[in-house]
Chains A and B, each alone.
Chain A
Amino acid sequence: MGGQGVVTAGILIGNAVTAAGTNAVMSEIHGMSQRGGVVVAELRIGDVYGPIIPDGAADLLLGFETVETLRALRRAGRNTTVIMSTERIVPFTVSIGDAVYPDVEPVISRLRGDGIKLSLVDAQKLAMEAGNLLSSNVVLVGAACSAGFVPAQVSDLEGAIVEMFPAKSVETNVRALKLGMGAYRWGDQPH
């Protein structure tokens, strides 16, 4: 969602990976990000030309919001790893009573039963622990990292954080990165 730092997370990974010497191509659809709409960034790493990931071919689906992750699953395939923040942002259509925010637990159980690798990360809690709710996107980058999807050293990511963020927030963001890495290592229990 707009405001969650989706594009920044993509740029962070892109900067780290290119600093480590690998090609990266990113696309972003953010036209309505300020108006409570959905933001989707696609990042392709390696020997590729275009920024659009074919349907079903994503290696990782990094979800910043629960319903939007479920919505994005149609772009994912059987082999896509899903790392999902437990954050829930209720859409306007639900608040005015026109729709229902689904009961997510049974959906997650069924997906796991079908063999989809799905991990949950309490990105908000970890961001608060790191020192700022706004670093929840960096928490998720950390999780993506320790899940093995970012071909770069931690030092490359830290270097990208220093380059991209104001000096006074660097420490918080590095902490968020490390907490995210730890969260994934512990498996899928929200911490």
Chain B
Amino acid sequence: MTRERELLAEAGGAHFILGNEAVVRGLVEAGVGVAATYPGTPSSEVGDALSDIAKEAGFYFEISVNEIVAVEVAAAAAMSGVRSFAFMKHVGLNVAADALMSTAYTGTRAGLVIMSADDPSMFSSQNEQDNRRYAEMAKLPLVEPSNPQEAKDYLVYAFELSEKTHSPVIFRTTTRTSHMRTLVRFGPKLPPRQKGEFAKDPANLLLLPATAYKMRSELAGRYEALRALAEESPLNAGGQGGSDVGMITAGAAYNSLMDAIGEYGLKADVLKLGFPLPLPTELVARFLGQHRTTVVVEELDPVLEGQVRSLAQLRQIKTAIRGKMDGCFPQTYEYNPDVVAASLAKAMGFRLHVRDTVVIEEPLPPRPPVLCPGCPHRATFYAVELVAKQLRLKNAVYPSDIGCYTLGVQKPFGAADYLLCMGSSLGTSGGFSKTTDQPIIAFIGDSTFFHGGMPGLVNAVHNGHRFVLFILDNRTTAMTGSQPNPGVPLNGMGEVAPDVPIEDVVKGLGVSFVRTVDPYDTRSTMIAVREALGHDGVAVIVSRRECALLMDARNRRTGSRKAYAVDQDRCTQCLNCVSNFSCPSFYVDAAGLVRIDPDLCDGCGVCAQPLVCGPRAIEVRAP
């Protein structure tokens, strides 16, 4: 049974699934009709599973061009009476924030749930941030599971809560709950409703200063009504009593806390908040009053701790509160049982177990992620670096963006200097172009260009910026697992869809210098770069060649894999291929000979060109 078919199984069975897969099952059990996203780890598997089951399950799934559009799509769909869901990684909520804030004012008709999958310790992100702060700022309720069973159950609850209160609900996970796998018992499915009707009500839906002013009071009232529901919610549980020490916790931190309590046999009363915002102040105040010491155990920011301390002060509740703000717990990075145990030891004063770990003295070779063999980005960077060397470019600046090509920062290319966020390569190039005479060559991917690069490009044309922009079109959104984007004739439902040619967009935005190259053709790519550097304005080069992994998958299916080999009779051991092209399938053997690993070689043939191998010593390997 495929994982995706499994998610449509009948009620009653138990399945060992990922938190993200449990979210998808939750959508099926809540009868959600519309889901929209922009891919981002740790939320990506939600979309991959939805793509596979959408048709059969009967709902609409869209891979939107970016997260704010995804939220806008979901918000309007819910306003038409269809339960809707928008999901993204934590920084995606930054992009969507403008729309998110307004949905709190307009409220919703059918259930609207917005999922933020946060990434403490930034396993695959440009930062870590605590998106519970968005719920506080927007005055939206937040629901947070601690494991996959709760991920499913709490999501269904979130939709019911949203409809009951006409408030959008934020559903928050982290890497350790989204990518956690446990046994999940399935409930009954609800047939999705995909169509509704929009009833006009501009006084309550069109945000103008005058209407927003009125809505603000309603929002305040709604927030307090939500707090009353949090007080009674089955998602806020625990506090059995019987101990001097109380612990307030939420999310993934709950798991590490319970493991630490188990290991050390700690006596503590644990209040787990699955619906922590708005904070159920009566519940918490009662809990504080029952304990001499209260420890707040949460990852990242002291969101709950800050409110708990304020509450204790306001109500003059006598309890010693321990947490981050008094230095017991860290404010950075994710929690694990060791971090929690060490912090609890500080708060409660007990001795930690000493565990002998094994130490290896030998230095081990680092194994950073690298561009795949056959990756077209490697070929593009190689061409750019060769031109930079030939022209003796002084100190060229390489603004970069978010995608596989960010790995171009590695040796030997060093082709990524500055990165802020999705699409920032455009705006930052503009800033550099106005303040320095250094040559500027920026890199952005196809998906990222559509996501956030277009405004920065028209800005550059209109404001007279001067730089070279490479749009690296590998025909997919690769880093997150190969999802489609508007440049590709495929949509989130797996259907053929209209694709938007990047060159047309670029010309439409006013760029006069547009070239298209195949990066596997190093010579043509170099000619284009040289020409672009001479252009007085914005010069765009679309470097188009499909992602190596897509090519591999196709070659495996059609059985037409080929690999290259070094002809040792012709090789002069100049090592240009190893040192300056650096495909991971190359290695130098014990005898000092350069070889290509046929299992890793992708058969792209870029290394066989004279511009990489001057002696022409690389050729197709005999089968």
**Contact between B358 and A73 (Cβ–Cβ < 8 Å)?**
yes
A18-B14, A49-B259 in contact; A93/B359 too (CB < 8 A)? Answer: no
Asked if B411 is an interface residue, CB under 8 A from chain A, the answer is yes
The minimal Cβ–Cβ distance linking B260 to chain A, given in whole angstroms, is 9
Stretch at the interface among B178-186, B190-198, B535-543: B178-186
Contact A95 B367 (CB under 8 A): no
Contact of B338 among A10, A18, A32, A55 (CB under 8 A): A55
Q: Is B471 among interface residues, defined by CB-CB distance under 8 A? A: no
Given known A11-B181, A96-B411, contact A37–B358 (CB-CB < 8 A): no
| 0/1 interface trace, chain A 34-45, chain B, CB 8 Å (1 if under) | 111110000000
Residues 1-49 of B at the A interface (beta carbon under 8 Å): 1, 14, 16, 41
Q: Is A149 an interface residue (CB 8 A)?
A: no
Is A60 close to B, CB under 8 A? no
**Chain A: minimal CB distance from B8 (Å):** 16
Partner of A29, one of B16, B179, B582: B179
The answer to whether B258 and A49 have CB atoms under 8 Å apart is: yes
Report B-chain residues with C-beta under 8 Å of the C-beta of A179. Answer: none
A129 at the interface (CB under 8 A from B): no
Contact B582 A92 (CB under 8 A): yes
Interface size range on A against B: 35 or more
- B255: chain A residues at CB < 8 Å are 49-52
A37 lies within 8 A of B368 (CB): yes
Task: Collect the chain B residues with CB atoms within 8 Å of residue A26's CB.
Answer: 180-182
Q: How far is the CA of A111 from the CA of B584 in the complex (A)?
A: 31
Q: Judging by beta carbons under 8 Å apart, are A91 and B365 in contact?
A: yes
Contact yes or no, B367 A38, CB < 8 A: yes
A95 and B407 within 8 A (CB): no
Q: Once the chains bind, are A116 and B181 in contact (CB under 8 Å)?
A: no
Of the candidates B1, B364, B578, the one whose C-beta lies within 8 Å of that of A97 is B578
Q: A92-B370, A100-B365 are in contact. Are A163 and B357 (CB under 8 A)?
A: no
A80 at the interface (CB under 8 A from B): yes
Q: Are A77 and B370 neighbours in the complex by a CB distance under 8 Å?
A: no
User: Which residues of B lie under 8 Å from residue A49 when comparing CB positions?
Assistant: 146-147, 254-256, 258-259, 262
Within the complex, the shortest CB–CB distance from A42 to chain B, in Å, comes to 10
CB neighbours of B176 from chain A (8 A): 27, 50-52
Hey, which chain A residues are within 8 Å of B371, CB to CB? 35
Interface-facing stretch out of A63-71, A140-148, A182-190: A63-71
Cβ-defined partner of A75 (8 Å) among B262, B357, B411, B586 = B357
A77 to B356, CA, bound (A): 5
Contact in complex: A70, B588 (CB < 8 Å): no
A56, B357: Cβ atoms under 8 Å?
yes
Complex CA–CA separation, A175 to B488 (angstroms): 42
Set of chain B residues within 8 Å of A74, measured between Cβ atoms = 357-360
One digit per residue, 1 when the CB lies within 8 angstroms of any chain A CB and 0 when it does not, for chain B 476-503 equals 0000000000000000000000000000
A77, B179: Cβ atoms under 8 Å? no
Q: B123 at interface (Cβ–Cβ under 8 A)?
A: yes
Q: Which of B336-390 contact A (CB under 8 A)?
A: 336-338, 341, 355-360, 362-372
Task: State whether A52 touches B365 (Cβ < 8 A).
Answer: no
- Given that A54-B337, A107-B360 are known contacts, is A95 also in contact with B584, CB under 8 Å in the complex? yes
A102 to B411, alpha carbons, bound, how many Å? Answer: 22
Taking the complex as formed, is A169 at the interface, i.e. its CB lies under 8 A from any CB of chain B? Answer: no
Contacts of A128 in B (CB 8 A): none
- If A54-B337, A54-B338 touch, whether A96 touches B358 (CB-CB below 8 Å) is no
B461 is an interface residue with CB less than 8 A from chain A: no
- Nearest CB on B from A128, distance (A): 13
Complexed CA–CA distance, A18 and B360 (Å): 35
A25 & B182 in contact (Cβ 8 Å cutoff): yes
Q: How far is the CA of A54 from the CA of B357 in the complex (A)?
A: 11
B369 and A76 contact, CB distance less than 8 A? no
Instruction: Please tell me if the beta carbons of B366 and A93 are within 8 angstroms of each other in the complex.
Output: yes
What 0/1 readout, one digit per residue, does chain B (156-180) give for beta carbons within 8 Å of chain A? 0000000000000000000110011
A25, A47, A50: which has the most chain B beta carbons within 10 Å?
A50
- Judge whether A27 and B549 touch: CB under 8 Å: no
B582 cross-chain contacts in A, Cβ below 8 A = 92, 95-96
How far is it, in angstroms, between the C-alpha of A47 and the C-alpha of B258 when the chains are bound? Answer: 11
Contacts of B359 in A (CB 8 A): 73-74
Interface assignment of B459: CB less than 8 Å from any CB of chain A = no
Residues 89-112 of chain A, each 1 if its beta carbon lies under 8 Å from chain B, else 0 = 011111111111110000100010
B579 at the interface (CB under 8 A from A): yes
| Structural contact, A68 and B124, CB atoms closer than 8 A | no
Which residue on A lies nearest to B337, using beta carbons? A54
- What is the minimal beta-carbon distance from A156 to any residue of chain B, in angstroms? 12
Which chain A positions have C-beta within 8 A of B364? 67, 70-71, 102
Separation of A188 and B369 alpha carbons in the complex (Å): 31
A143-182 vs B: 1/0 string, CB under 8 Å?
A: 0000000000000000000010000000000000000000
Q: A25-B182, A51-B180, A54-B338 are in contact. Are A80 and B365 (CB under 8 A)?
A: no
In the assembled complex, the CB of B517 is this many whole angstroms from the nearest CB of chain A, namely 24
- Cβ contacts under 8 Å, B362 to chain A: 70, 102, 107
Distance of A55 Cα from B357 Cα, bound (Å): 7
User: Is B513 close to A, CB under 8 A?
Assistant: no
Contact B360 A73 (CB under 8 A): yes
Judge if B418 is at the interface, Cβ distance under 8 Å.
Answer: no
**Most chain B CB atoms below 10 A, which of A18, A52, A96, A111:** A96
Which residues of the partner chain B approach A78 to less than 8 Å between Cβ atoms?
356, 358
What are 19 A-B pairs at a CB distance below 8 A?
Answer: A23-B182, A25-B182, A27-B179, A28-B181, A31-B124, A36-B369, A49-B262, A52-B255, A54-B336, A70-B360, A73-B359, A74-B357, A74-B360, A91-B366, A91-B367, A92-B582, A94-B365, A99-B365, A107-B360
8 A-B pairs closest in CB distance: A50-B255, A56-B355, A99-B365, A32-B369, A37-B369, A35-B369, A31-B124, A26-B181
Given contacts A37-B368, A50-B336, A77-B357, 7 further A-B contacts (CB under 8 A): A50-B255, A54-B337, A70-B362, A71-B360, A74-B358, A96-B586, A101-B365
